[in-house]
Chain A
């Protein structure tokens, strides 16, 4: 559904199927699906900066690779911090925040209706996050408390929000679209698959 309005190409490399979409304004969307389970592994997006340079990949789903070397880089979150990533299930938007060792009583999860974001708060003021859901923003649908749930176990806080019917329908459409999309098969190590 996020591919709307762009031109997509797709190819298979290894055990993954990648779908690469370019939009008119120069922004790009890359999605990677598992070939067997058709599970969405990574969804990343980048757009041109105002001056025309290439922006940075923004990971909507999946984990961003960590590149930090002490000599060249400037600043980077330490690996001991909580790590935030999104990994959806079939019926839920789901976010996982790992490395959060505090007990369950510590967390307060709510929805800020003023800008339609899920807000994760900690009582000990160690972690705070405002989560935006691009799908909901696109549909102009509002998040609801009833659909929101969370639990904490194994140092991980899992926040879920039920996908509304519209999203489920659109995702189904997406899936059939992906099936019919012409797919090139690449064997071996293809380095420059996005070109």
Chain B
């Protein structure tokens, strides 16, 4: 007898956001007078650096000064990237914030200066009014069909929208279904869909539904059902970066566009033309410049050519605020044999405002571990946290933070609800930190590869 085939139950999984090293940061944690709060918005300690970053932030928001550069200098694991992230979060969605690591510049497809120019232009926004086609109406019915078998077939869907005058059924594409589900759109909502980009905005609930016996949050806003045609042309204000405009204009037009994949390098004529156009818009009052921030991490990886390019590029009046970060002390400038503080040439250093980050104190470490435990959803006993703090002071903060997840997994194996001191020490013995690893290497160096002959035994060849 043939077995009855059952289709596995289909689970709708809402996308889980992954937890990154800095996902607990929501801002700089400053109060209105720019004083740093002890623990706020995921930030701990580094009060002076944060206060300095706050001043810079005010400068960016004022938007008057172009081409300033700030250097975040400090030992590894002292929160340089965290401060940059905090700045990005505090600036909000409107302000462009381009983040990159210096090593990204080195590519075979693009010259270093082109990549830097693109990064600069990604950090300057233009707020502009553009006419787009939008569909605005009240949802009458929404219907999404899931295929019986998982995997193969795509979901299909239909949505019926209406205005006071008309009603139309729309077929939905895959992406639209996803965003409708994400926005939790249901019958009775008034929504607007940008036809080109597919962006949905919920305008509120229709007045016609105001007497439904539904559980509604106090924040529910009621709006009138839209009038007239469903599809309208409307002016919307949005921020695009100069780089995006570059890309649109450098695409080969017409049928050649079919063959164009990457944009690659953008010709300087295109850029000049766009700068001219933007200047024209600004004069006519059609557009505003929104200066943003370019953050270059590991800036010591830039070479001397990039540094001299930066010197020049910062003088442009369309330059963003550039924030760079490095964890190096006095070291060689890449591409030369000269040594310089932070591996940055003196002439550029002179143009930088330098913010120092200092190693965390023990109490601060403890607070950071608390925050991370919460972020990663790990229950940990006070003793274990105490131990982790100790490990953190002796090794590094990053190592201590990595032990959180591993000891959580160990605790889970013994079915404990809480991570205890024994899990942490187990994890500590399983995973070696840098110091212990170095110690081990020094002891057993001889037994590793390429150490068959001692350096002292090598005889110099006679010439």
Contacts and interface: CB of A to CB of B under 8 A. Distances in A.
* A and B held together in a complex: yes
B438 interface: no
Interface string B361-382: 0000000000000000000000
Contact of A126 (B167, B196, B249): B167
Interface in B164-181: 164-176
B174 A70 contact: yes
Contacts of B170: 75-78
Nearest to B155: A70
Interface of A is mostly: loop
B181 to A, nearest CB: 14
B130 A50 contact: yes
Contact of B173 (A73, A81, A122): A73
B166 A127 contact: yes
Nearest to A53: B248
B131 interface: yes
Contacts of B248: 49, 51-53
B240 A51 contact: yes
Interface in B250-273: 251, 253-255, 257
Contacts of B63: none
Contact of B169 (A49, A50, A73, A81): A81
A128 interface: yes
Interface in A126-176: 126-130
A50 B233 CA distance: 14
A194 B131 CA distance: 26
Contacts of A122: 166
A121 interface: yes
A30 to B, nearest CB: 12
Contacts of B198: 74-75
Interface in A54-112: 54, 56, 68-81
Contacts of A128: 163, 165-166, 228-229
Given A51-B245, A75-B171, A128-B228, A195 B255 contact: yes
B100 to A, nearest CB: 24
A191 interface: yes
Interface in A3-53: 49-53
Contacts of A81: 168-169
B332 interface: no
Interface of B: 128, 130-131, 135, 154-156, 158-159, 162-176, 193, 195-198, 228-229, 240, 244-245, 248-249, 251, 253-255, 257, 274, 277
14 contacts: A49-B130, A50-B131, A52-B248, A52-B249, A53-B251, A56-B196, A69-B173, A70-B173, A72-B174, A74-B176, A121-B165, A125-B162, A128-B163, A192-B255
Q: 10 tightest CB-CB pairs across the interface, nearest first?
A: A74-B198, A128-B165, A128-B166, A73-B173, A78-B169, A52-B249, A53-B248, A192-B255, A74-B176, A70-B154
Given A71-B174, A77-B168, 7 more contacts: A52-B245, A70-B171, A75-B176, A77-B170, A78-B169, A191-B255, A192-B254
